[in-house]
Structure 1
Amino acid sequence: MPSKSLLIAFMLCISGIVFSQTEQYTIQLKNGNTVKGTLVEKIPGETITIKTAENEELKLTYEEIQKITTTEALEKAANVDHDSIQPYRYKRRGFINHTEASFILGVGSVAGTTQKNEDRGFGIRTVNGFQFSETMALGIGLGIERYIDAILIPVTVDIRATLRKGKTSPTININAGYAPNVKGFKEGGGFTINPSFGIKTYISRKTAFIFNVGYKIQQDQYTYYAGGNFINKQKGSAIFKFINFSMGFAF
């Protein structure tokens, strides 16, 4: 009899493990989204990890969750609309690319001179990096910017913060680095920094349209000869300021 009882207990344990791995969970989040998948890990009162039909593991905190329903409970509920249950809508984590075009308009005067900044230009840049969560991404950017008398190749570190979760959100972005000038003075170009504010709206689950307005600061280093001769060679630097309008897509 004892051995039979142990066998029954063992079989019940195995069936429970198998059932927990195949049972479907439907989780309603406080932001209005719904997640559906199988249970991977559950830490009561802290987190629950679900694997979706797309084989993506989502780790959710109980603070994000409004309601948890299992397959058994759904089958018993007569008023459940199964067609309304969908995977999590938007990209949460993984490698990401931002590609955008920009119009750059000079403002103010050129720091270090009395010259008014009437420069303007167009640019295109791409950023490859990693999205750590739905609200934070970090990457490396490479671009080309064509001004009236210069062509710059900015290489930057790019940080992007999305202020809220969901389809549409305001964003805060900053990119900073170095932009050599490949046209004009040999020493042209210099450091660059461009903080910006914008908006991001998803047009599909993993693709978003982005629009930003930034305040770009660009250094331009140059060489000149003082005293009207070619002996007294000097180096100088000027700071240009721009309003930068950009739009593109995040993938």
Structure 2
Amino acid sequence: MHRILLLLCLLLVTTGVCAQKGYQDVIYLKNGSVVRGMVVEQVPGVSIKIETPDRSVFVFAMADVERITKETIERGAVANAGVSRGYQGLVAVGYGIGVKQYGLDRAKVDVVNGYRSGPHLMAGLGYGLRAYTGDTAATLLVPLFVQVRFHFLDRKITPYLAVQGGTAFDANDGFQTMGPLFGGELGVSIRSGKRTMLHFGPGFELQSLRTYREGDYASRYRPVERQVNSGAVDINVGLAF
């Protein structure tokens, strides 16, 4: 009777422990990345397919895999998927030096709220601030834009390409529409955590601006307004989270 009670107690304890823990497959890649989830397909010596907790599916060549293990996880705990999808924010600052005839120097601040669809692609809506120096009617602009970022490699250090387009508003004139804004950036991204990345790179920005020139006899000597494209080569530093 005592042995039966002891056996029942052991079964209850074991069941409780097993109920609190589960197992997950863990793939360690040679580039340093770690992907956790469930292996759904494996072709010996060729490739392996894994589904992460957020239902992302990744396929890796076996030549890129260092080792595959099975590890315990606590039920209810958030599994570290290695690469994931979902919301991603970005804050960036930069400074541009004007180029060509109407180029103006500018200080830049951008904030982007986006969606990351995996280790390579992120797209989002952004807003920012541009402080211009030079002979122009607008010295402070607030741009609204769409930005797309592409990381070429799923590694800790990877080159990236970012493009954006939108319009800017004149903070000096009741936030009247100033004109279209376009920009591009090519740089290097360094993964500093599961979801955090540091960005650094040069870029180019083109902003349509209103300027004024002195009037002549035809305009009765009143200032004449015109739109010009102001370009700048810039350096940018950002943090994605």
**TM above 0.5, one fold?**
yes
Q: Which runs of 5+ in 2 are unaligned?
A: 1-17, 72-78
What displacement does 1:159 show? 0.6
1:42 aligned to which of 31, 40, 46? 40
1:231-246 alignment, distance < 5 Å: 236-246=226-236
**Alignment match, 1:33:** 33
2:224 equivalent to 1:248: no
**Alignment match, 1:200:** 189
State the SS of the aligned residue for 1:133.
Answer: coil
Q: TM-score, normalised by structure 2?
A: 0.71
Change (3 A) 1:28 1:188: closer
Q: Which amino acid aligns with 1:92?
A: S
| Conservation of the 8 A alpha-carbon contact between 1:186 and 1:222 | no
Q: Which runs of 5+ in 1 are unaligned?
A: 1-17, 72-85, 111-116
State the SS of the aligned residue for 2:181.
Answer: strand
What displacement does 1:236 show? 2.3
CA distance in 1, matches of 2:123, 2:190: 18
What displacement does 1:141 show? 0.9
Q: Which amino acid aligns with 2:114?
A: G
**Alignment match, 1:15:** none
State the SS of the aligned residue for 1:210.
Answer: strand
Change (3 A) 1:185 1:106: farther
Q: Which amino acid aligns with 1:166?
A: R
| Conservation of the 8 A alpha-carbon contact between 1:135 and 1:162 | yes
RMSD: 3.4
2:127 equivalent to 1:145: no
User: Identity over the aligned pairs, expressed in percent?
Assistant: 19
| Conservation of the 8 A alpha-carbon contact between 2:169 and 2:175 | no
Bigger proportion of residues as helix: 1
| Conservation of the 8 A alpha-carbon contact between 2:208 and 2:227 | yes
CA distance in 2, matches of 1:210, 1:155: 21
Q: TM-score, normalised by structure 1?
A: 0.68
